[in-house]
């Protein structure tokens, strides 16, 4: 397959502005508290790093690893738990940070798992939301940008582990190398 970045959907400046807005809103909502920010590896790592540095409240961080995608861009629907949290969350204010909500399978499953551990509160912040792709109902509490059903990479998002390093969120198109096939 040939992969081509065809368009910048959100340049780094626009992402930076939106991340600061989200951080402001989150800081107001969590005033006087110290949330535990839970990043979903790998995609959330850049967004989470920028978001927590823009918060005006103290926080702690932890990570989980789940996956819903096989190789490529099509979700398998199966959720695998790779790495669990290292801290107990009983009685904690937990904010899950995710790069993108697509089918909703990953976050709905993670929320279901973490609710059973009885946190004081549990919310979700996603940078991107592709609402038209939902297979299960899921609404994030904080969303950076609602986007159309296009495959996006950059700012932590990948295609086969590539393109995460790009500073902008970009549209990726894939095509067969041989267009006559």
Minimum distance of ligand PRP from residue 29's CB (angstroms): 23
Euclidean distance between CA atoms 95 and 126, whole angstroms: 10
Q: Are 106 and 68 in contact (CB under 8 A)?
A: yes
Catalytic residue status for 102: yes
Minimum distance of ligand PRP from residue 89's CB (angstroms): 19
Euclidean distance between CA atoms 17 and 82, whole angstroms: 32
Q: Are 171 and 5 in contact (CB under 8 A)?
A: yes
**171 CB-contact burial (10 Å; exposed 0-12 / middle 13-18 / buried 19+):** middle
Stretch that binds ligand PRP, among 24-32, 86-94, 97-105, 142-150 (CB under 6 A): 97-105
Stretch that binds ligand PRP, among 15-23, 38-46, 81-89, 169-177 (CB under 6 A): 38-46
Q: Which two tokens stand for residue 8?
A: 């910048």
User: Which one of 102, 129, 158, 180 is the catalytic residue?
Assistant: 102
Q: Would strands 142-146 and 152-153 be described as parallel, antiparallel, or unpaired?
A: unpaired
Question: Residues binding ligand PRP: what is the number (CB under 6 A)?
Answer: 17
Minimum distance of ligand PRP from residue 85's CB (angstroms): 15
Asked if residue 36 binds ligand PRP (CB under 6 A), the reply is no
Asked if residue 144 binds ligand PRP (CB under 6 A), the reply is no
Query: Residues with catalytic annotation?
Result: 102
Contact positions toward ligand PRP, by CB under 6 A?
40, 42-43, 67-69, 75, 98-106, 158
């Amino acid at each position: 397959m040939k992969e081509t970045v065809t368009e910048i959907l959100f340049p780094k400046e626009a992402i930076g502005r939106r991340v600061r807005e989200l951080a402001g809103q989150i800081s107001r909502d969590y005033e006087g508290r110290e949330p535990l920010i839970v990043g979903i590896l790998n995609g959330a790592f850049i967004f989470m790093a920028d978001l927590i540095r823009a918060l005006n409240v103290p926080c702690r961080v932890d990570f989980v690893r789940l996956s819903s995608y096989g190789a490529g861009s099509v979700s398998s629907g199966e959720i695998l738990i790779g790495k669990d949290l290292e801290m107990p969350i009983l009685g904690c204010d937990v904010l899950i940070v995710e790069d993108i909500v697509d089918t909703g399978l990953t976050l709905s499953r993670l929320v279901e798992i973490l609710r059973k551990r009885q946190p004081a509160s549990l919310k979700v912040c996603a940078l991107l939301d592709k609402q038209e792709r939902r297979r299960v109902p899921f609404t994030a509490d904080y969303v950076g940008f609602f986007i159309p059903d296009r495959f996006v990479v950059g700012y932590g998002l990948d295609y086969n582990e590539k393109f995460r390093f790009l500073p902008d969120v970009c549209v990726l198109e894939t095509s067969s190398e041989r267009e006559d096939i």
